[in-house]
Chain A
């Protein structure tokens, strides 16, 4: 399995996903070597081998390094970026055995990591053959494609999000889209996290229907405390709390959250809106809160750790995921696991998976505000949603995800066997 991060080194949801997935897969008897970029952390877990892609893991002669720079065609052909990457890589590859940290630009680091990972996977495969190569998102796609092309191993890719989602389809980065399209087309089987995401892969990347598998994310509910905490004002009066948590970007629809907040506050001044997370939209959102006249009721928390989030969820009366485009939205499972009534946009994949949340169009801030006010006003609704959210998320397990993933591995392996049999006929 090829990824980008693994706990304790985590920057987004991908690390947690890989952690939970590999653990559950291992319980089903799947042996996993996990490849990721070199970090400063020691990463080891009993259920898998973690290899941090490092030049030191290769010895000259392990693989024929010399063919790579020639054959390397870069990402998506002739862009300046890819030629630059190729040159840089050629330089790096001339000095194997020498410790190198990725003191490079982001895209260069991705390129280097992918080439190294492909070499390492191939080396390990020669020592002890793999059955399947599984990559996560575009960031580890190139390595998967290279190594499966060279070894004939089946390729499974998981698409957690696409460039269309990350940019809300506003100025997507064509180069990344190119890698994503290539990954989907070269994979024997593709896993994605919702039906809406599967549809996008079919429409935008031409993925055939039979190849795309929807496997929803899961949650380890036991990691989320379920007690309530209360925020009180200076007079000791309980303040109602509505939470947003996530990146502050256009894709996430935080602006709509603030517009709904204004409508809620027009009916009930005793409501606090928490905006947790960081991102490039922060200055604009602060300004918007001011323009809407709700600065007093909105708190921007900035970066919030996982442990802090757990406490904030216990304090919140409502959680809103207003995403414009969200392949899944695992944070909604986290809020539900803490018993916080949750509202998600209809354009969030998580809404396909769970029943005990409310759904709104992200742009319909009247409806969003009406739903927030209703949860805050009607205790039986709060209690009913709370109880059912906890019960429902307790049944959404990684074991199920692992079982479905193994089915996909088997499909991919069978597809390769069938393809080989067909080739043998000529």
Chain B
């Protein structure tokens, strides 16, 4: 009897503005939100995804949950940046997700609120904080408490698994990468190296991509893929858990409605339930159903992205690593400045999508990246320039804030300066206010 775990990745980044070199340090009191983020573009993309995917697909899933009673269940992996924008632009999207969750048959996974790469920082406290923020958001908006975890883009290593266990989660899911699995199958429950209670599920990428990537490819020999045929494949798959993890926008965005993708989804539960050896399950339930059959060790990070299945999608070249390390390096300064607006901007800048748009990988991957990039006319170098200009401006904002705070402290206790430059700024500010 195999458990079928459907899991949907639902995400929108808060996209950045185009930011000129001449914009650096020219803030003049405008909000960081309005300077760094292109809200017009964000609203446009959100509305498009809401109308083509979120609302129609949620409607189908709601129907399936209602019709099939206990016999249909699935998991959702929704990012904080998506929920935040849904709340702002289309509250009915939040409502429809909440309604799915209220059936009790939908499991929501936790992750970093900002879909960030903070799990790769040397200091994991920022990662923990972003996970806590996500957990809070899901409880507030969707009314459920996540118990399982999936990291940004399924990025995973032993270190990350151990951190996630430390945060109290029961299960984690990552990509069923062959170089890690070796002869083993992704269709079993595993134990992460160095963990005692956390359970590890592996995504079955072949069956997931049959729907996610190949569904509408007419050159594919299995085209057209029907729910009936797919259910037969699932039934013939050996193992205990079949983890089908796909981008939610598979339904209506990547494959348009007229490809039949929504009908496929609408008929899948009925067709799968015809097979006696199949039953639907959430990630959390499936992980609890079977004892781990082996320990899996992943010393360096894997992910579900590109052919390499590692972090090269975001950190593959110098310009990506430069932005990443600039941001990581800012963390102590953010703590020092301790300002809500700065924290919020800082965290939005950490969203992994911004780094993906800087990828310079070879043709086939680049096509995938271009498809997802909102900046159609510009390549990775333009995106880097804009992003690095924002980071540089942001850095000066943070430093300015710290200097002002120290200046204020100076005023309260003159003669206590430990830094001549700060003292000077402080004096100038004092002069300015007098």
Contact = CB atoms under 8 A, between A and B. Distances in A.
Interface string A359-392: 1000000110111011001101101110010000
B388 A374 contact: yes
B20 A367 contact: yes
Given A370-B20, A370-B21, A378-B322, A384 B385 contact: no
B360 A378 contact: no
Contact of B385 (A267, A355, A381): A381
A378 B385 CA distance: 9
The secondary structure that dominates the A interface is helix
Interface string A389-404: 0000000000000000
Interface in B311-345: 317-319, 321-322
B384 A381 contact: yes
| In the A-B complex, the 10 residue pairs with the closest CB atoms | A380-B322, A370-B21, A380-B318, A374-B385, A370-B20, A373-B21, A384-B318, A384-B319, A380-B319, A358-B381
A355 B379 contact: yes
A6 B374 CA distance: 46
B183 interface: no
Interface of A: 263, 267, 355-359, 366-367, 369-371, 373-374, 377-378, 380-381, 383-385, 388
A74 B321 CA distance: 64
A375 to B, nearest CB: 8
23 contacts: A355-B379, A356-B381, A358-B382, A358-B385, A359-B378, A366-B20, A366-B22, A367-B20, A369-B21, A370-B385, A371-B382, A371-B385, A373-B21, A374-B388, A378-B319, A378-B322, A378-B388, A380-B318, A381-B319, A384-B317, A384-B318, A384-B360, A388-B360
A345 B350 CA distance: 32
Interface of B: 20-22, 317-319, 321-322, 360, 378-379, 381-382, 384-385, 388-389
Contacts of B21: 267, 369-371, 373-374, 377
The secondary structure that dominates the B interface is helix
Given A358-B385, A380-B319, 13 more contacts: A356-B360, A358-B379, A358-B382, A366-B20, A366-B22, A370-B21, A370-B389, A371-B21, A374-B385, A374-B388, A378-B322, A380-B321, A384-B360
Nearest to A266: B22
A386 to B, nearest CB: 10
A355 B321 CA distance: 20
Output the residue of B318, B378, B384 with the most chain A CB within 10 A: B318
Contacts of B360: 356, 384, 388
Contacts of B322: 378, 380-381
B261 to A, nearest CB: 32
Contacts of B321: 380
A213 B70 CA distance: 62
A122 to B, nearest CB: 47
A385 B22 contact: no
A49 B360 CA distance: 44
A335 to B, nearest CB: 15
